Amino acid sequence: MNSIVSMRWVLARMYEPDLFIADCRFSLAEPEAGRTAFQQDHIPGAVYFDLEHSLSSPLQDQGHGGRHPFPDIESLAQLLRKSGVSNETRIVVYDDQGGAMASRLWWLLRYMGHEEVYLMDEGYSAWKAAGFPVTAEVPVRIPASFTPRLQQHLLASLEEVREASKQGSSLLIDSREHARYLGLEEPIDHTAGHIPGAINLFWKDNLNSDGTWKSHDALADRFHHLPKDQEIIVYCGSGVTACPNVLALRAAGFDKVKLYAGSWSDWISYPENPVATGDE
């Protein structure tokens, strides 16, 4: 399934009544920067979805769940309803981070059973630089009926990840930078390294040098060495930048792909979980 669409695809459809546009711009370094940028200007009709307030739950007191805990699905469903999303709505998501943030919403919608959701290639800065319409107006949305149909097979539990690490029952893919995977540096989490048994496929390698997404054939070539008959579990630091790798794998024809939502920051919250460094 090709979930990546061009800016011109969006431009040609942006005023169609069944199309919903979600702005997911967010900066981990400046958590309010995305919302501020949205308030300044955005694609007409777009609704803002904040990574930490809309697409994640609050950090858990016991320290588990990762840095961006899995959101409460009913709260997200209610936000979608208030924003005018129905089960029949076509949804386009975008950000300005190569799809890193928007892919989180893409995955959550797929998990909620909404299949017609697309990531806009290149992102907002390219849209604006192309001279396409922008506005500072926030749209008035008419609430709609949206019923989640959870696809539990898309989500990997901690126990499944432990089993994959110990027994090789599933292929583990670490989506972070190679230096973090190796354990040479860790700028965010308190422990460096990776889940034993995982291989490293940095999510940004799904992009061309100009920031556009690679073609279907190029993505298929990138993952040609991976087994299509084995289940794949993808993780990153906190379950965000793993999502573009899930999207890319799906685009390349892999249909047995799960997300470990808590990812590395959840894994290391359990002292009994082993940690590996260096190449596998």
Listed in order, strand segments (DSSP E) in 36-158 are 47-48, 90-94, 117-120
Residue 62 near residue 37 (C-beta atoms within 8 A): no
| Catalytic annotation, pick one of 22, 236, 259, 261 | 236
Listed in order, strand segments (DSSP E) in 36-160 are 47-48, 90-94, 117-120
**Token match 């390219």: residue?**
126
Active site residue 24: no
Closest to 134 in 3D by CA, of 23, 10, 44 = 44
Q: Is 169 helix (H, G, I), strand (E, B) or coil?
A: coil
DSSP state of 43: S
User: Which residues are marked as active site?
Assistant: 236
